[in-house]
A and B are shown apart, each in its own frame.
Chain A
């Protein structure tokens, strides 16, 4: 019993250590700082999705919508409104939250695959808007000719535009804050009601938990952090692309969570790291990386559904 806790703290410490020093060792293993930043951003998105999927037991396949809203909210703000990174982030997150709140009300009483279908379908609406409204969003070509702005603190200036390392730590800061909030929520009595809903919705209902309301709240929290990840993704590439809204992207978030292990907190981070690294590698080798991603999905589902951390847990708990 003590052993398990010991392992858990050691693992946590190791992960934080790796994250904090990533720009320094990543080049050494054949990566580059921007790749590391991409991993952190995707990890945030996957962990946000897992809040809903792994902890509340809700099958959401349309998270790309809120990711994309974050992307476009940030990009459009900087390009047309105020060239300020923080404002862009705020607008991106707010857009995602408002959309999620409204759509959540429409769908929260649905369950299972029906819910999944509806989330996918709603995701597509935003895709079409971004695609069609091309004088504003740039359509299929995406939103370009803008970039993340350095941040002026008055006494100091954080040049996240020109320094990939500075940008990495900027992103990591938001990652830390988000992850800390999500962890605190999951450990609270509210968080336990979500576990209850995942484990046995009927029993949760018969304990007096207002299930629909709690699912809506979990949905809202999840979409907020996915939106935040979206804004960071926009800044990473200085580009907003309709494909961040496409159903493919939603599937990618889910597979990251599954690959790493849905039932553990850090699982999606591991999944994101593996996926991003693999995608980066494969796309340099061949044009048909889409087939490989598809094959990857199929293999994980058939042979590795518990994910990396799921397998490790099995081995240590016996």
Chain B
């Protein structure tokens, strides 16, 4: 059974159709990339999957459960987390504090007023582990708002990992990054995908990243699915080339 099944979802905003009858299947452990020209509806599609918006029609089945109308926070508890196009972190707190909050919430400590030494030690250990994985250990004490864009993004991704998700949605993780930062983030995502037994769905514009990471690719154009398949198949697909070349030339 697929981990995530998106069945014919549509999203209308009045007379404007942002997403039109799109279906997608993601298996456990798979890394799926969603690409397409600007305005193709990719972020809206993500919003529907993660619960930020509700589809006008269609269903979203996560791990055999119909989550179409479930609130975002609830989906997090079911194992689905996401990052945003504009990095969403806690800017005036340190990297360590950002991760600490994520770990505490993941451990069910939201309402805890007091922690035992043991519990606190476990949290710290986990935070250190996350810092290690992402290479942020050296910057743990710095305010996230003051870090370089790439490090902020890495922090955001690690916060999502702290929640031990089974499905991670990444919305344009390398947006606005230079070559070196893009490389670093790509390596991080690859490592996480391998080590954490995680399914990932990724929106990306940078084709190098897509072809480097993706098991399968889905192409959206003007709200509808244009093509779907392995990276090889997509690269050879004429309709996809037309959509990109057509839009890129203009």
Direct contact of A and B (CB under 8 A): yes
* Contact in complex: A205, B72 (CB < 8 Å): yes
Q: Chain B residues near A205 (CB, 8 Å)?
A: 72-73
In chain A, residues 161-219, which have Cβ atoms closer than 8 Å to a Cβ of chain B? Answer: 184-185, 188-190, 192-193, 195-196, 199-200, 202-203, 205-211, 214
Known: A184-B113, A185-B113, A209-B110. A203 touches B88 (CB 8 A): yes
Cβ of B92 under 8 Å from chain A? yes
Q: Chain B residues near A208 (CB, 8 Å)?
A: 73, 76-77, 105-106, 110, 163
Nearest residue (CB) in B for A263 is B92
Q: Chain A residues near B156 (CB, 8 Å)?
A: 203
Q: Chain A residues near B105 (CB, 8 Å)?
A: 193, 207-209
Which of A184, A185, A188, A195 contacts B93 (CB under 8 A)?
A195
Distance in angstroms between the alpha carbons of A283 and B91 in the assembled complex: 42
In chain A, residues 50-102, which have Cβ atoms closer than 8 Å to a Cβ of chain B? Answer: none
Cβ of A156 under 8 Å from chain B? no
Shortest CB distance B54–A (Å): 16
Known: A190-B111, A193-B110. A206 touches B90 (CB 8 A): no
Cβ of A5 under 8 Å from chain B? no
Which of B88, B115, B159 contacts A202 (CB under 8 A)?
B88
* Contact in complex: B141, A189 (CB < 8 Å): no
Q: Chain A residues near B102 (CB, 8 Å)?
A: 207
Q: Chain B residues near A206 (CB, 8 Å)?
A: 50, 72-73, 76, 81-82, 88
* Contact in complex: B159, A190 (CB < 8 Å): no
* Contact in complex: A199, B90 (CB < 8 Å): yes
Distance in angstroms between the alpha carbons of A202 and B89 in the assembled complex: 9
Nearest residue (CB) in B for A217 is B111
Distance in angstroms between the alpha carbons of A205 and B101 in the assembled complex: 12
Nearest residue (CB) in A for B87 is A203
Q: Chain A residues near B90 (CB, 8 Å)?
A: 195-196, 199-200, 203
Shortest CB distance A262–B (Å): 12
* Contact in complex: B113, A192 (CB < 8 Å): no
Shortest CB distance B16–A (Å): 24
Distance in angstroms between the alpha carbons of A63 and B97 in the assembled complex: 30
Shortest CB distance A277–B (Å): 31
Q: A189-B112, A190-B112, A205-B72 are in contact. List 7 more A-B contacts (CB 8 A).
A: A192-B97, A199-B89, A199-B90, A200-B88, A200-B89, A203-B90, A203-B159
Residues of A at under 8 Å CB distance from B? 1, 184-185, 188-190, 192-193, 195-196, 199-200, 202-203, 205-211, 214, 263
A-B contact pairs, 16 of them (CB 8 A): A188-B114, A188-B115, A189-B104, A189-B110, A193-B105, A195-B90, A195-B93, A199-B91, A203-B89, A205-B72, A206-B81, A206-B88, A208-B105, A209-B105, A210-B110, A211-B73
